[in-house]
Amino acid sequence: MSEKNGLKAGVKRKAMAAVLLLIFMGAAAVFAFSKAFGMGDPVSRNSRAFSKEVKQWISQAQEGDTVSLAELAPFSWNWVYTFDPYTAKAEMEKVLGCSGRELQETVSEGMVQLIFVEHDSALGENKVVGSICAYGSNLGYGVDLGIRFGRRNNYVMLPEGMDRMTLRTEGEYPRLVFEGETFEGVITELYRQSALVSVEEGWPIRDSGDQVFVQLNEEQTKTAAIGDRVKVNYDGMVMESYPLQLGGQMDTVILKDLKE
């Protein structure tokens, strides 16, 4: 090989090495970017897709319109959870039955936390498939899974299929609020902290039964009387004993109090 040809070959090898180095550096940069911003993570992809669907739906909806979270989440899930502020990751993992680096504790009532969990029947275990944890002002929307009467645990959970939300537009940003199911009836018996309510005709809960035990708050135990009409909100879950018991009571209003 002549000296000239040898120099050309050397230049080619150096050029090829430079190209390979650039390809390697580019691939490393893409990997690092993807890892930093969750582009290659299915949970992050699901979470971004959910937020996008929520904001698109809200932009076309009006106050009082309803939608299920299942309609907005373009992925499969079985339950969605939100935990009280400052609930530790270890406690969340205990409740969820799975771990995940996506789990973050909230530090304010103003933060939105949604953890979507799916049960993998093949493996017999749960897994996190979506996670939202941010201030509503940054997201541009809020999600409220509702308050349960007398709740003793540090979380609220909704199963897929019982997740219909109502759009409420008052406040700094629009919110999807779980308002549950409703019935009205008449108090027929009073106990220390509860009442037996006879459900009036026309309410869907009567498909399960017409008598329901309802919890009362401290003030209501002092003012409630047999014959009072009440309006009850609950999360849709009913334990079909007799009388019926509510799986998650959200609010009870004694209707006579509204007239005073």
Same-domain pairing of 244 and 196: yes
Average pLDDT of 203-222?
94
Looking at 37-41, 181-185, 242-246, 252-256, which range is the least confident one? Answer: 37-41
Question: Are residues 172 and 200 both part of a single domain?
Answer: no
pLDDT at position 221 is 93
Report the amino acid identity of residue 58.
I
Number of domains in the chain: 2
Would you say 204 and 244 are in contact if contact means Cβ atoms under 8 Å apart? Answer: no
- Which pLDDT score is estimated for 152? 78
Does residue 230 share a domain with residue 113? no
Q: Is 15 contained in some domain?
A: no
**pLDDT tens, position by position, 55-111:** 999 999 999 999 999 999 999 999 999 999 999 999 999 999 999 888 999 999 889
User: Quick one: 74 and 126 in the same domain?
Assistant: yes
- Average pLDDT, stretch 15-19? 55
CA separation, residue 115 to residues 139, 174, 230 (Å): 15, 20, 34
State both tokens at 145: 């899974």
Where in the sequence is the domain holding 247, given as residue range(s)?
A: 181-259
| Model pLDDT, residue 98 | 94
Dihedral, CA of residue 48, residue 167, residue 87 and residue 80, to nearest 10: -60
Domain end: 177, 208, 226, which one?
A: 177
Q: Note whether 235 and 248 are within 8 A (CB).
A: yes
In a domain, 9, yes or no: no
2 pLDDT tier (thresholds 50, 70, 90): low
CATH of the domain at 191: 2.40.50.140
Q: Is the peptide bond before 243 cis (omega within 30 degrees of 0)?
A: yes
